[in-house]
Structure 1
């Protein structure tokens, strides 16, 4: 039998509860001379930068990051399964990463897209609603197509907030459906045990018709590459169209034909020969050309870029414009040198089929390749070929793919419009 009274028991329980509530967060301490990038708000703390961890945080646990001298730096989420041990989200010491915090961050991302008019139409537009690090939500990407939303997690820790993300989208937009897309390599990199699936509402339609720059595209949210469509090249496709009037144009890595269609419809190009290694992409590109009534002016073929360029050179073909938009070539820092060699070879071959004074549009979506790296690669091609190159425009990402200067890796898209003499 207990000697304490009911009142004393209640007080003891309240004290225990208060202790639980004020239990200090686990602390992650950095090695000496490793703190500067994180004071500068870079959100990725790699395992190699960490000296010790106080506590036993589970994946998704909120932690405090501190310098080797014990100085507070930021709050983040922990994941022992990832080489990015901590993703940082707040540099305010007293700001808890609670539901209100995540909801506010999501609302801030939506407000940007609203302010630039990208959420005006519910029927047929596409927009990136959340762009990971640039929206201070490292590990979360959300795309909107009409009344469907595609959610993609590249962080195990943030994927544990899935229910909150779904609730926010439902309350804010009343979508027809929310679909989960997974990114190649994330299962291994983050320990993510998720697969593409319906999260809420109705599944996306088998074919969705998207409108962009007064052009209609058929695309699939479920089976299309990445999240179905390359929204990030929206403004660049229109910009390129200003340079190709009456041109005979070659496009490599055309996917579903967006650059080609802009060249014909908005740029009044004479004709386009376009290649992609994916047969399903080529079939969709042909359908898109027919949908817009220009199927007779664009020839879509299956082929791999390097082989196609070598054959066109052997055949003596020459074009007024060449567009190169290859997939990501560098996924890890160890692969940057090899990727730059790949970009050099691709652009070198493009020079061989480009008429004097022709337009070269060359792109990179490798975040580990900087703007300067890419420009220096082009300088090497110019030097090697003995052909003078003029950069007319250096372009990047549109407003729904903003860039955080604290995380250079999210400035991934480079699009150079050049004249080659």
Structure 2
């Protein structure tokens, strides 16, 4: 069981808390380019061995790398430090291991002299928040992403700010031994850089708990870092000039979709005077922006009754009467509207992620094709289609080629007006192309 003595760094000074392992032959090249994810299939598991106190010097580390590797007992626990070596024993990087996860190691440093400790986390967190301030002074009542996992060299940690509340999501169990320190440092950095936060919600979603093999005890200890009551998990914040509510406890991701904040505003610029259909509206980001921009009517659809209740509440808070909300499945809803002969001057598609892994990419592209073709059927010549994908496994070129296929099948010309990505607080790391995930394409349908 992980011990949450979180102000103490995990280091090579403790027996069997620092390990080393080699890659399989010719499987080390992504890590030379500083990619942070080491899958279990990449590793030569029989080379795993501990680095003990007596091996702490660089000389001993190199000597141990050159020794014949033997299976080791005991086995590491998640959050232990591990040095990654290539198959020939050359040092590559240092990370944290989870022996139960398919994503076996998350890499954090690529210089041998750097330790993975509380000082590293404090520095990385401060740099991440300061990076957002390069764009100017933040709105204390607004929303923003402060830490974006791999993109901020903090794989396994996502932090969003909604007004004075931090929503902290752990996506990797390897960070649990540091959780308390990480949360404290995020609060300190937010205050230092002009957006103090008095409330914190800390969570790990069910899928991550399952895949990372997190125990119930460790999950309870993680969630104990939350400083808001469950009955007080709805937070109001300013979003493109609107007052918006999100549910931090039960909402998707960290509660909202801050990555689409700028796209909500950009899409709204095309909606004045148009009849608009917003598919997968969630809490109404695209729909309310379109209504506020002067759309003649907005019909917003989502499968979640809970999300629609919040969206309705948001509309009422902002006194928007030209929008109505309906519950339905995205595919069935579009099909039924086509059968009824409905048309819309603009349609917005912001579906959930269709591809969670590389092997799901082809199925995801088929789903996008079906969804977008159904939308095009409802749009008269000259109308607008705003179509989005948050599937990191689907590249921008793949997504655009999907639209080419839609145009061919429907015998319509599709003219791209804008090809957009996430809001700039959602930075991405060149070394981790998966972090460049969001596509938002504004198209005129001819």
2:342 to 317, 337, 345: 317
Map Cα deviations across residues 145-187 of structure 1 (whole Å, 9 max, x no partner): 2222111111111122102112213444363222112224101
Aligned match of 1:232: 259
The answer for unaligned runs of 5 or more in structure 1 is 1-18
Going from structure 1 to structure 2, the CA distance change for 1:163 and 1:54 (only over 3 Å counts) comes to same
Aligned match of 2:89: 70
1:335 to 346, 360, 379: 360
Q: 2:17 touches 2:80 (CA, 8 Å); kept in 1?
A: no
The answer for unaligned runs of 5 or more in structure 2 is 1-11, 51-74
Inter-partner Cα distance in structure 1 for 2:14 and 2:241:
55
Aligned match of 1:131: 148
Inter-partner Cα distance in structure 2 for 1:100 and 1:415:
38
Larger-gyration structure (1/2) = 1
1:59 to 69, 78, 84: 78
Deviation at residue 25 of structure 1 after TM alignment? 4.2
Going from structure 1 to structure 2, the CA distance change for 1:24 and 1:150 (only over 3 Å counts) comes to closer
Inter-partner Cα distance in structure 1 for 2:413 and 2:252:
36
Inter-partner Cα distance in structure 2 for 1:368 and 1:184:
22
Aligned match of 1:410: 435
Which TM-score applies when normalising by structure 2?
Answer: 0.85
1:101 to 100, 107, 120: 120
Deviation at residue 419 of structure 1 after TM alignment? 1.0
Aligned match of 2:162: 145
1:282 to 283, 298, 308: 308
Going from structure 1 to structure 2, the CA distance change for 1:118 and 1:361 (only over 3 Å counts) comes to farther
Inter-partner Cα distance in structure 2 for 1:240 and 1:114:
25
1:177 to 194, 199, 216: 199
Going from structure 1 to structure 2, the CA distance change for 1:278 and 1:23 (only over 3 Å counts) comes to closer
Inter-partner Cα distance in structure 2 for 1:79 and 1:207:
33
Aligned match of 1:349: 374
Aligned match of 1:217: 244
Deviation at residue 23 of structure 1 after TM alignment? 9.1
For residues 9-408 of structure 1, the aligned pairs below 5 Å read 25-51=18-44, 52-55=47-50, 56-117=75-136, 119-121=138-140, 124-172=141-189, 173=191, 175-193=197-215, 194=219, 197-203=223-229, 205-265=232-292, 267-295=293-321, 297-408=322-433
Inter-partner Cα distance in structure 1 for 2:202 and 2:13:
35
Inter-partner Cα distance in structure 2 for 1:111 and 1:357:
43
Mean CA deviation greater in 131-140 or 178-187: 178-187
Inter-partner Cα distance in structure 2 for 1:410 and 1:169:
21
Deviation at residue 207 of structure 1 after TM alignment? 3.2
Going from structure 1 to structure 2, the CA distance change for 1:322 and 1:20 (only over 3 Å counts) comes to closer
Q: 1:178 touches 1:198 (CA, 8 Å); kept in 2?
A: no
Inter-partner Cα distance in structure 1 for 2:206 and 2:424:
25
Classify the secondary structure of the residue corresponding to 2:345. strand
Inter-partner Cα distance in structure 1 for 2:14 and 2:368:
54
Going from structure 1 to structure 2, the CA distance change for 1:119 and 1:61 (only over 3 Å counts) comes to same
Q: 2:17 touches 2:76 (CA, 8 Å); kept in 1?
A: no
Which TM-score applies when normalising by structure 1?
Answer: 0.90
Q: 1:178 touches 1:203 (CA, 8 Å); kept in 2?
A: no
RMSD value, Cα: 1.9
Going from structure 1 to structure 2, the CA distance change for 1:118 and 1:350 (only over 3 Å counts) comes to farther
Going from structure 1 to structure 2, the CA distance change for 1:239 and 1:32 (only over 3 Å counts) comes to same
Mean CA deviation greater in 220-229 or 35-44: 220-229
